[in-house]
A and B are shown apart, each in its own frame.
Chain A
């Protein structure tokens, strides 16, 4: 196997483990944003294990690349990725959503290592990423800034305010990705509020826009590499994804947005994800423990 193929396989395995951990976390918590977490597993794996310049031992390293999860509700996938990176211990993943846990239901800066910005109310993260990117330039630093947006999040006016400002300031050190999983909370994004033509909109706002299969590690590696070559404008990667990816009972539906999973649903989903009977038994037992 070539090195590149080995890297791709490694990232696919990380994304797969992220999905398993997301299911276990939501099973234990009793609730959580499943759909939008499952759709970003490959994007996060590629960002944190291929793209971002980070030091796993020092999440505060001042020259690190920044990542803002603007669609903050999908943080179970981010926490699971952090456990792979080493920002947090795998042991705390199941404390997700508990009052004293660093893993709050919407991510909080200063509470969990690696979280660059508190997010949750949609539309706010991209502006903060714009601020970080401007800050890098004013300070003469070469770190880059990444933001991950939801598709429904692009309903928010603030996203387009941020889009204009990133373009005005020619932020070629800023790369945003839209997790285009086609569903918002209540139904299809095109019904809630039509986004199309999304590529044309971002292009018209002065961004370099690339469309990609958001579950293809190979394609994602290529587009993030391409973004590095773009000068004088920010890059938007429209990643076509599947909401609730690999959770067959809700995959590709709005019903996967925020869920409480029954034991049966957990058992079936973890089985589909290839977990052993022993592993599934442990998760089911953890679900019954006092919350």
Chain B
């Protein structure tokens, strides 16, 4: 594997590059810019960086207002505050009028340092997925993060972009180009399909590589575009492999697993197993401790695949 980079570490640099080319890019922050790394934009373009303080609801409203004047706004803080705290502002001030606000949501799912239950984002995908006009994306690595943020600057409308906190290896192909609503197949296979996104792609792929050694050919799909979702890739996987395991960094209710199951049930019914946090709150702990606690390590994924294949 290549060197590991945290998706958040490319955020500041990418925003600065966009800001150099486009005077209408603005970045908003709720006292998190040193952790989210958007501080680089603040240093380069102080007049286009709005610090609202610890007031996420106000941040979303200000971003909405700015966008009506012609700015493309990137509003950023932790996933939990973007989604749970500012849910109504995102819905009515941003999504309803379909304004050009990109929410950069940091600290995705269970990977939040040791911050514990209150800071773990297990609901945000479900919340954002159910808001009309909203797009939901989580890139798998630094390269895809750059692509998604660049895409966001061109896309006209609201987006919820979940950004991983911790270093991940390069997952997407070298010449990869992000397309909204388009999944990328990281590994071909005919026996079963594993679908994941963001931080979980690494261990999902590792599980598939280990299975390969045992003669099980698992397809691996990176579903970075969670909404709109790539229905075609899901239907094809159901048709060709007959079984699907989804791996969520989120509550199993309302996350990627739900989204995949919705497509499968309607279009091509096959067995789907949803891995993820099974409707409980988290705890303080390292990433490794959390993955073990919730059964989301590569070996757990492998076990789930074996159990599904045996039944």
Contact = CB atoms under 8 A, between A and B. Distances in A.
B47 interface: yes
Chain A interface extent, by class: 35 or more
B26 A138 contact: yes
Given A108-B96, A118-B96, A124-B88, A129 B65 contact: yes
Contacts of B88: 121, 124
A123 B197 CA distance: 36
B92 interface: yes
A265 interface: no
A158 B59 CA distance: 10
A128 B62 contact: yes
B70 interface: yes
B69 A117 contact: no
B118 interface: no
* B interface, over-half SS: helix
B92 A119 contact: yes
A124 B61 contact: yes
Chain B interface extent, by class: 20 to 34
A175 interface: no
Interface string A152-171: 00000110011011000100
A130 B62 contact: yes
* A interface, over-half SS: helix
Contact of B58 (A109, A121, A161): A161
Interface stretch (B48-56, B187-195, B272-280): B48-56
Contact of B93 (A66, A124, A133, A139): A124
Nearest to B101: A131
Nearest to B55: A161
B48 to A, nearest CB: 6
Interface string B47-83: 1101011010110111111111111000000000000
A164 B65 contact: no
Given A118-B97, A124-B92, A126-B61, 20 more contacts: A110-B98, A117-B97, A118-B93, A119-B92, A123-B57, A124-B93, A127-B57, A130-B62, A131-B63, A133-B65, A135-B65, A135-B68, A135-B70, A161-B52, A161-B53, A161-B57, A162-B58, A162-B61, A165-B52, A165-B62
Interface of B: 26, 47-48, 50, 52-53, 55, 57-58, 60-71, 88-89, 92-93, 96-98
Interface of A: 62, 66, 68, 108-110, 116-121, 123-136, 138-139, 141, 157-158, 161-162, 164-165, 169
11 contacts: A117-B68, A118-B97, A123-B57, A126-B61, A131-B66, A132-B69, A133-B65, A135-B65, A135-B68, A158-B57, A165-B58
